[in-house]
């Protein structure tokens, strides 16, 4: 007996639509490894329709006063809270995430972030007007950019969607958002909610649009002549392709492309507390987090003690089904990701040691055991490249200089942390570490008021904060003669 699959649809100009040519792709629940829905495999006609809708809606939305844009976002935040259980269920089916942790760790920050950008809508700033040339007054206008093409990743489909649409709408832009082909369900539900609020407030239908599809769909969005800005969270390879494509017509580009966060642990730290916090920050969401605490550097004097304690903590962490309240994380997102994580472990050099884990869990779905690997060298593949799974590596360092060299010795530069009781040392490391974020004696907390974004191959542009809001505006100089 064949179970009928749920049908997800694009959201274009206020209407749910199938792909113009009827093509679909199956959406798989990573807990079971079985399809539960179909989603449009959108082609050129669908991208054209979404861009046309966003372009048509832009002039009216651009001219809406900030207070009204704030009102829209506040009502979206309220609606997300009211329909939180539906969003949680959709996200869990998308990703296999634990229901309880999605309820406590994702919905509240998402709602808070939307409300932050609602306030930011009314805080457009520029340098004060003044006479910088005799007889002439200059002032600055901050304006929306236009249509924004946005591509969200599969590790946090809902939250990364919020990080993209909230500042864009707050600044007066219109949006075409594409979720990952493996996780469209929660984004389609968000479209229903946002569309309802837009309609209730009488705003243009095309302000917010969702197009489902694969890499080719995303490529068509980036190459399309309408968007003035492209924002993507994804792999370095994807970011490079987007930047190259967008350069052909000088689109503005916003890239968040992953990380390889160093976690630098000095000998004076509280080892038990550090192990507890680092293991949680490393294994949360199955390590599928660009800022995950998965590359630990430990002073040689406490290395063996730390590795033993971390391996013990990891062995006690549980992965399992979303409704199990005792699990810290669920499955990897898809079969390809399971193969990638397994491949890193299978290719470990002879000098590496798997302290715990290192294998798939069960024969259904894409679960992987919490894993700790020690004995590694700086140029090992697993140190240099992003695993994006529940794998924590541990290296030993001899002094502060070596710790800094190891920490900075990768191509990523998104986030990092320092663990020490020595304030001066913490300040030296916070200056020396070449990462967009440096946490001290903690790892992974984010707040709406502070920027998130990296350097080097982790990309450019900021999410969250006033800096993230500014990225969705353009600056215009206006000069007027005082002679009348």
Domains recognised in the chain with CATH numbers? 6-257+458-477 (3.40.605.10), 262-447 (3.40.309.10)
**What is the Cα–Cα distance from 188 to 209, expressed in whole angstroms?**
10
**What is the Cα–Cα distance from 223 to 232, expressed in whole angstroms?**
13
Instruction: Judge contact between 99 and 152, C-beta under 8 A.
Output: no
Catalytic residue (choose from 256, 355, 386, 437)? 256
Helix ranges (DSSP H) in 326-448: 335-346, 381-384, 400-408, 423-432
Instruction: Judge contact between 337 and 366, C-beta under 8 A.
Output: yes
What pLDDT score does 425 carry? 98
Catalytic residue (choose from 148, 212, 290, 437)? 290
Q: Which residues of the chain have pLDDT under 50?
A: 1
| Number of CB atoms found within 10 A of residue 281's CB | 23
- For 65, counting Cβ atoms within 10 Å of its Cβ (0-12 exposed, 13-18 middle, 19+ buried), the class is exposed
| Number of CB atoms found within 10 A of residue 147's CB | 26
Give me 454's structure tokens: 């990296």
List strands edge to edge, sheet with 459-460. Answer: 15-17, 10-12, 208-210, 174-178, 147-151, 229-233, 252-256, 459-460
**Segments of 136-272 assigned E as strands:** 136-144, 147-151, 174-178, 208-210, 229-233, 252-256, 262-265
What pLDDT score does 2 carry? 54
Question: Is 212 annotated as catalytic?
Answer: no
**What is the Cα–Cα distance from 115 to 121, expressed in whole angstroms?**
10
Give me 455's structure tokens: 């350097």
**What is the Cα–Cα distance from 169 to 121, expressed in whole angstroms?**
9
Question: Is 290 annotated as catalytic?
Answer: yes
Angle, alpha carbons 41-47-52 (nearest 5°): 150
Look at residue 175 and give its three-state secondary structure. Answer: strand
Q: What is the pLDDT of residues 194-243, one digit of tens each?
A: 999 999 999 999 999 999 999 999 999 999 999 999 999 999 999 999 99
Q: Is the pTM for the entire model greater than 0.75? A: yes
What pLDDT score does 1 carry? 46
């Amino acid at each position: 007996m064949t179970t009928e699959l749920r049908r997800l649809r694009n959201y274009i100009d206020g209407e749910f639509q199938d792909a113009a040519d009827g093509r679909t792709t199956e959406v798989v629940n990573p807990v079971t490894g079985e399809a539960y829905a179909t989603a449009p495999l959108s082609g050129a006609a669908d991208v054209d329709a979404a861009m046309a809708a966003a372009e048509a809606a832009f002039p009216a939305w651009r001219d809406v006063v900030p207070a009204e844009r704030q009102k829209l976002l506040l009502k979206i935040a309220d609606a997300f809270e009211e329909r939180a259980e539906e969003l949680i269920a959709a996200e869990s089916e998308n990703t296999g995430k634990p229901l309880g942790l999605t309820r406590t760790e994702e919905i509240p920050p998402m709602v808070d972030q939307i409300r932050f950008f609602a306030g930011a809508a009314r805080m457009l700033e520029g340098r004060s007007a003044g006479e910088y040339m005799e007889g002439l007054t200059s002032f600055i206008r901050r304006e929306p950019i236009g249509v924004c093409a946005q591509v969200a990743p599969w590790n946090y489909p809902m939250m990364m969607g919020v990080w993209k649409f909230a500042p864009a709408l707050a600044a007066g832009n219109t949006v075409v958002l594409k979720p990952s082909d493996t996780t469209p369900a929660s984004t389609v539900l968000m479209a229903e909610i946002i569309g309802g609020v837009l309609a209730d407030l009488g705003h243009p239908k095309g302000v917010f649009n969702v197009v489902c599809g694969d890499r080719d769909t995303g490529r068509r969005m980036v190459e399309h002549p309408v968007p003035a800005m492209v924002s993507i969270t994804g792999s370095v390879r994807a970011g490079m392709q987007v930047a190259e494509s967008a350069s052909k017509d000088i689109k503005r580009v916003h890239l968040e492309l992953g990380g390889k966060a160093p976690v630098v642990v000095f000998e004076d730290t509280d080892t038990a507390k550090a192990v507890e916090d680092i293991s949680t920050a490393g294994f949360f969401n199955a390590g599928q987090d660009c800022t995950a605490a998965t590359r630990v550097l430990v002073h040689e004097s406490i290395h063996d003690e730390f590795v033993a304690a971390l391996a013990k903590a990891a062995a006690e962490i549980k992965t399992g089904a979303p409704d199990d309240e005792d699990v810290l994380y669920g499955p990897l997102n898809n079969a390809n990701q399971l193969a990638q994580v397994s491949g890193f472990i299978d290719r470990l050099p002879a000098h590496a040691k798997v302290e715990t884990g290192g294998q798939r869990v069960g024969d259904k779905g894409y679960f992987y055991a919490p894993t700790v690997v020690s004995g590694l060298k700086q140029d090992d593949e697993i140190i240099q490249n992003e695993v994006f799974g529940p794998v924590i590596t541990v290296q030993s360092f001899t002094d502060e200089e070596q710790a800094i060299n190891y920490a900075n010795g990768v191509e990523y530069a998104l986030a990092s942390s320092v663990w020490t009781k020595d304030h001066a040392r913490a300040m030296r490391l916070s200056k020396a570490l070449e990462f967009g974020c440096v946490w001290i004696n903690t790892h992974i907390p984010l707040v709406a008021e502070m920027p998130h974004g990296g350097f080097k191959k982790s990309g450019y542009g900021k999410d969250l904060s006033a800096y993230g809001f500014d990225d969705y505006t353009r600056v215009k100089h206006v000069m007027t003669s005082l002679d009348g």
